[in-house]
Amino acid sequence: MIVGVLGAGQLARMIALAGYPLGLDFIFLDPSADACANSLGEHLHGDYNDPRLLAELAERADVVTYEFENVPSDVAEFLASHTQVHPSPKALAVAQDRLIEKAFFHSINIPTAAYAPINSFESLEQAMSFIGWPAILKSCTLGYDGKGQSLLKSIDDLKPAWEQLEGAPGVLEAFVPFTREISIIAARNVSGAIAFYPLSENSHRGGILRVAKSCNNDPMQAQSETYVSRLMEALDYVGVLALELFEVNGQLIANEFAPRVHNSGHWTIEGAETSQFENHLRAILDLPLGSTTAVSKTAMINFIGGLPITEELLTIPNSHLHLYNKAPRKGRKVAHATIRSENNEDLTALIKQLTTLADKVDDS
């Protein structure tokens, strides 16, 4: 059985590592010559919309999935007309555009921050009057890791923020004074069975995820499951999906969702009975989903811009290293580490040790 993946970065790499034990083989389509999943499957090297490569992928893969959702919609449509594609082009289209995504959340009664579409400097000025300060201006498409986002704290910020959009459509969002950033990872298979992971509690800096922690028996678990299952059902979603949420005064507000495996779920490799990567594959192949039970308290620390010294990291008890085989570059995720512990105090101390290592090499 051959799984085709659009993208051959670290997510594709970890999908493949989870897929070999299930007897799967992989073909990746990726424009980067040294894409880091290369050595784990066949690499079709070219643009995501290269018609010859897409035809080859559609012809040879039994099922196609994504590690990167920002592919042109006609690519997803083309593939879906020739082979099985999960998640569906519709889910991709909703996730690709922040305005469509927010409208979709509203249509299924999932609360979001107040927002307004922005397509001119005047519309930005007008929207500020009812969104209020502070607010965030984001490009509707192609943003990730905080790219294409500007925090607006005073009138002086308006002009540079607008200019940063370079004429692209934007969305203005009220700033949410959250107490916690969390995400829920869930998997839904072709038959419609859903499995929910325990919540991840996430810490960002500079718009990039730094630490994610598993939260067993979290008070927000049930509400998060309600929202994510509503979203998956409404999209007839197949695969793993991550819904990012803000917690504000005991209420949840949806930020965005990713129609794929997600950085905040990397802890599931060691920390859950079945990883998000294996469950994504089980979901798209319509296999029974694996247990999502947490096997202990687990945290994941990202290494951004620079690599930890392997010897130093592995000296930390119960630490697990995941190198992505990517050349270090400013702001680039090049590795993560996972740490497990049975008690919160130890876990906090271990996270501290790992974040110290991460901060040492972090140039972002």
Instruction: Report the interface residues with a copy of itself, using CB under 8 A.
Output: 13, 17, 20-23, 25, 39-41, 273-274, 282, 287-288, 290-291, 295-296, 310-311, 314-315, 317-318, 320-323, 325, 340
The encoded tokens of residue 96 equal 């690709």
Q: How far is the CB of 170 from a copy of itself (least distance, A)?
A: 38
Q: How far is the CB of 39 from a copy of itself (least distance, A)?
A: 6
In 3D space, the residue among 198, 204, 216 whose CA is nearest the CA of residue 180 turns out to be 204
- Indicate the residue among 182 and 351 with the shorter CB distance to a copy of itself: 351
| Cβ neighbourhood burial of 142 (10 Å; 0-12, 13-18, 19+) | exposed
- Indicate the residue among 18 and 252 with the shorter CB distance to a copy of itself: 18
How far apart, in Å, are the Cα atoms of 151 and each of 19, 112, 147, 275? 40, 17, 12, 35
Q: How far is the CB of 76 from a copy of itself (least distance, A)?
A: 27
Q: Which residue has the tokens 């897409």?
A: 54
Q: How far is the CB of 21 from a copy of itself (least distance, A)?
A: 4
The encoded tokens of residue 60 equal 């040879």
Q: How far is the CB of 340 from a copy of itself (least distance, A)?
A: 7
- Indicate the residue among 94 and 269 with the shorter CB distance to a copy of itself: 269
- Indicate the residue among 25 and 157 with the shorter CB distance to a copy of itself: 25
- Indicate the residue among 71 and 285 with the shorter CB distance to a copy of itself: 285
- For residues 268 and 200, give the distance between their C-alpha atoms in angstroms, rounded to a whole number: 10
- Indicate the residue among 122 and 273 with the shorter CB distance to a copy of itself: 273
CA 292-296-302 angle, 5° bins = 85
- Indicate the residue among 13 and 333 with the shorter CB distance to a copy of itself: 13
Task: Provide the residue type at 282 as one letter.
Answer: R
Q: How far is the CB of 288 from a copy of itself (least distance, A)?
A: 5
- Indicate the residue among 13 and 138 with the shorter CB distance to a copy of itself: 13
Q: E strands along 144-266, which residues?
A: 149-152, 170-174, 180-188, 194-196, 199-205, 208-215, 239-248, 251-258
DSSP state of 190: T
Q: E strands along the chain, which residues?
A: 2-6, 25-30, 42-45, 63-66, 84-85, 115-118, 135-139, 149-152, 170-174, 180-188, 194-196, 199-205, 208-215, 239-248, 251-258, 297-304, 319-323, 333-341
Q: How far is the CB of 291 from a copy of itself (least distance, A)?
A: 5
Q: How far is the CB of 350 from a copy of itself (least distance, A)?
A: 12
